[in-house]
Amino acid sequence: MSRQQKRGVLLVTYYFPPAGGAAVQRFLKFTRYLPEHGWQPVVLTVRPEDAAYPTRDSELLAEIPDGVPVVRTKAWDPYAAYARLMGQRKEEVVSVGFTGRPHQSRKERLARWVRANLFLPDARVGWVPFAVRALPRLLQQYPIEAVVTTGPPHSAHLIGYRGHRRYRLPWVADLRDPWTGIDYYEMLPMTWWARRIDACLERHVLARATRRVVVTPSMQRALEARGLPAALIPNGYDPADFEGMRARPTDSFWLTYAGSMNPARNPEALWQALHQLRQTHPIQVRLIGTIDTAVQETLVRYGLTDQVQVLPFLPHRQVLQYLLDSTLLLLVINRVAGNAWIVTSKLYEYLGTGRPVLGIGPVDGDAAAVLRETRAGKMFDYDDVEGIAAFLRQHYEAWKAGHPLSGAPLELAQCYSRPYLAGKLARLLDEVTSQRDLCVSAAS
């Protein structure tokens, strides 16, 4: 299909380069691969100077395809005001619902209460009026036939709602995480009236989307149980990210984890297993990302600090190299209520490396199902010290013998590749726009 024949789609996302982290990858990759399926993206996002990004990765700017317009608008950001109140930089205070920080002072408790009760559905809602104001200009400038919004932050869906209602554009609401059902929701100090308003807002907005998309089967079932059917387009990995990369030789068995590790992700059974094995199976561990002090204290308690390397947040490509250099990859699902739906984005990039995966989390959850389906590894219960130790021994001894075990075969992993998933979204866009065309034809 020629460039002139491509149909325009507006992708609305708060997280876009130079933002870093997993939240960026989904829509960044859609901008790359949707044109192969007949859709030309236009991106609507927030200006970096106004954004509240937990992490930044300027190297990702180079991955925005040439010819993809990126429109960045102003935003009012309550995190900046909170940072001034606390005497800190904005990057230091941005975390999911402020849940990553201790909340001992009166200022911190007040800030959490204000965020939870006055900024609905989330603290990025200050971006919405600026983005909505940009819609008429975008529709005049580009041949946009549909809108796709992604959340969190779920305030982005308010932009799609306005575009759908005012301009009759087909609108797909993409949910990378649940709205009111997200795992940290109960940690927010919300009043009963704030919870009720947020739930009503969620129902009202999502019910009016032309189609809804979710990333896990459990999320799909949960929405369908509420009368909101949704299509399933999981997260994935991009084979192009690994081009020109190969594993570097090493004399050590490396178990690598990528991403933040908070107290809910602290795999204490793993630390116990490593403590048991340290004399006979000297496994080196690499943790890349923001590692909570509670996790580091656990490492001290089990005497593992000499075999655990902690690295800060790194550029995406550098993280991928560390994954390729590893013998085994670590996946930990948050130990919280309702965690069966959680499938962290890193799992799919683990699949792309071909390295085996040690999972710790719900053994009957969606992440465990992906591991089984792709033969990438195995999920163990949070307290299964012996099972984890046996798995580590198996992989260590195979590596020591010169025959390290492999992860997901390419033919099983490729259904989670970004080009394939972009094709699924393109077919959904074909469907919603063809329905609109039929309605227009019937009315004329």
Domain residue ranges in the chain: 3-236+418-443, 239-411
What pLDDT sits at residue 35? Answer: 97
Task: Quickly state the pLDDT bin for 109 (edges 50, 70, 90).
Answer: confident
Q: In what order do the strands lie in the sheet with 171-175?
A: 70-73, 39-46, 7-12, 144-151, 171-175, 211-214, 231-232
* Mean pLDDT, residues 303-331 taken together: 95
Query: Residue 326: what residue type?
Result: S
Indicate if the alpha-carbon torsion angle 362, 367, 371, 372 is positive or negative: positive
pLDDT of 297 over the 90 cut:
yes
Q: How far is CA 90 from the centre of its chain?
A: 21
3-state secondary structure of 46: strand
The least confident of 2-11, 241-250, 251-260, 378-387 is: 2-11
Over 60: is that where the pLDDT of 100 sits? no
> Percent of the chain, pLDDT > 90?
77
Distance, in Å, from the CA atom of 85 to the CA atom of 26, rounded to the nearest integer, reads 34
Average pLDDT estimate for 228-236: 97
CA 295 to chain centre: 22
pLDDT tens per residue, range 19-47: 998 899 999 999 999 999 999 999 999 99
Residues above pLDDT 70, as percent of the chain: 91
For residues 328 and 355, the answer to whether their CB atoms sit within 8 Å is yes
Q: How far is CA 196 from CA 7, 120, 181, 187, 395, in A?
A: 39, 11, 13, 16, 50
For residue 330, what are its two tokens? Answer: 């670590």
- Beta bridge pairs of residue 232: 214
The listed range with the strongest mean pLDDT (99-103, 154-158, 184-188) is: 154-158
Question: Is 213 within 8 Å of 176 (Cβ atoms)?
Answer: no
Give yes or no on whether 3-236+418-443 and 239-411 have one common fold. yes
Q: Are 257 and 295 in contact (CB under 8 A)?
A: no
Mean pLDDT is lowest, of 76-85, 88-97, 161-170, 356-365, for: 88-97
**What mean pLDDT is reported for the chain?**
90
Cα-Cα end-to-end distance for the chain: 29
Q: Give me the residue label for tokens 């939870």.
A: 116
Q: Residue 107: pLDDT above 90?
A: no
Give the single-character DSSP code of 62. Answer: G
Indicate whether 118 pLDDT > 90. no
Cα(34)–Cα(52) distance, integer angstroms: 27
Kindly write down the DSSP assignment for every residue of 262-320, as one continuous string. Answer: -GGG--HHHHHHHHHHTTTS--EEEEES-B-HHHHHHHHHTT-GGGEEEE----HHHHH
Q: What is the mean pLDDT of residues 131-143?
A: 96
Tell me the three state secondary structure of residue 178.
coil
Average pLDDT over residues 56-64: 93
Given a cut of 80, is residue 187 above it in pLDDT? no
CATH class of 239-411: alpha beta
| CA distances in angstroms from 345 to 81, 386, 420, listed in the order given | 31, 27, 16
Is it the case that residue 99 has pLDDT exceeding 50?
no
Does the structure show a pLDDT above 90 at 145? Answer: yes
The answer to whether residue 81 scores a pLDDT higher than 90 is no
Give residue 441's pLDDT.
41
Rounded to an integer, what distance in angstroms lies between the CA atom of residue 274 and that of residue 291?
A: 18
Q: CA 101, CA 96: separation in Å to the nearest integer?
A: 10
Alpha-carbon distances, residue 125 vs 14, 120, 153, 170, 176 (angstroms): 10, 7, 8, 22, 17
Task: Compute the distance between CA of residue 48 and CA of residue 73 in angstroms, rounded to an integer.
Answer: 9
Q: Would you place residue 96 in the very low, low, confident or very high pLDDT band (cuts 50, 70, 90)?
A: very low
Residue 124's alpha-carbon distances to 29, 97, 193, 262, 345, in angstroms, are 23, 11, 20, 23, 22
Classify domain 3-236+418-443 by CATH number: 3.40.50.2000
| Cα-based torsion angle of the residue sequence 434, 70, 172, 74 in order, rounded to the nearest 10 degrees | -140
Maximum distance among all alpha carbons in the chain? Answer: 78
For the segment 70-95, the average pLDDT, to the nearest whole number, is: 67
Question: Do the Cβ atoms of 181 and 338 come closer than 8 Å?
Answer: yes
